[in-house]
Amino acid sequence: MSQPRDSGDAEPNEAEQSNEYTFEDVSVVMGTYNEEQAIGKVLTDVEDVTDGKAEVVCVDGSSDRTPEIAREHGARVIEQEPQGYGVAVREAILAPDRPVVVTTDCDDTYPMEQLPEFLDLINRGYDVVSGDRLYHGAEAMPDFNRLGNRAFALLASVLMGTRVHDTTTGMRAYRRDVVESIRWTENTGLSAELLIRPLMRGYDVREHPIEYRERAGETKLDPIEGGAAITKSIVKVCLEEQFR
């Protein structure tokens, strides 16, 4: 049984929730693209914290040993030509049969040790739990990215009329029915879309502070091109949701 850590929040759907999910109900999914420096650590962390119970799905476009290492750790590997973050992550979130889907990056930036907190919050009734890297300051993030991420959150907040703090985080937990009930359209901007559409459709979304570590291996994102694509996605998705 998970223990609620605070009592002040309204807890949606809790009464309807008779059975609590365990890590046997969780799939941890990620896009993987030449992440051989990080993948062993990421998958070991997932195994350790979930006692080997969570399923892992990697949608992989690598030309290095990433998929072999993933299979050695018991992950399900779906091969896909590299076409960008969102194309991989969309396939990854739609692959599992388990009722709770958690996304992460395969670069050791996200704290797998906080997975139990994400599961607790889903068990408390939230539909989406979104890791907020900026809450603790995200000192490991390059300055330019930190500034950009704050700007994206501000832009999305203004357009949605709801304050959000980190729209581009890669670590979230979703009830699978949320993921399956929405048509996802964005690529580099998918992370923002995965927060904005559920929020604007009235799902119970909660941001949750997370630690953020320095990346192992090379980034797959060009900050200028990626930043422009994310800005465009935020505006497009917010307008589409407003007028749907």
**Residue numbers of the site for ligand GTP (CB under 6 A)?**
30-33, 35, 59-61, 80, 82-85, 88, 105-107, 109, 145, 170, 215, 219-221
From 2-10, 106-114, 122-130, 149-157, give the range in contact with Mg ion by CB under 5 A: 106-114
Write out the two tokens for 189: 């901007």
Taking the C-alpha atoms of residue 89 and residue 195, their distance in angstroms, rounded to an integer, is 14
Taking the C-alpha atoms of residue 108 and residue 43, their distance in angstroms, rounded to an integer, is 9
Asked whether position 105 contacts Mg ion by CB under 5 A, the answer is: yes
Burial 153-178 (b: 16+ CB within 10 A, else e): bebbeebbeeebbbbbbbbbbbbbeb
Q: In whole angstroms, how close is the CB of 166 to ligand GTP at the nearest point?
A: 12
Q: Is the dihedral of CA 59, 64, 65, 68 positive or negative?
A: positive
Q: Which of 45, 60, 107, 193 binds Mg ion (CB under 5 A)?
A: 107
Q: In whole angstroms, how close is the CB of 44 to ligand GTP at the nearest point?
A: 16
- Give the Cα-Cα-Cα angle 114, 128, 103 (nearest 5 degrees): 55
Nearer to Mg ion, 36 or 107 (CB): 107
40 binds, among Mg ion, ligand GTP, none (CB under 5 to 8 A by kind): none
31 binds, among ligand GTP, Mg ion, none (CB under 5 to 8 A by kind): ligand GTP
Nearer to ligand GTP, 99 or 211 (CB): 211
Reduced to 3 DSSP states, what percent helix, strand and coil does the chain have, rounded to the nearest 5? 40, 15, 45
Instruction: Give contact residues for Mg ion (rule: CB under 5 A).
Output: 105, 107
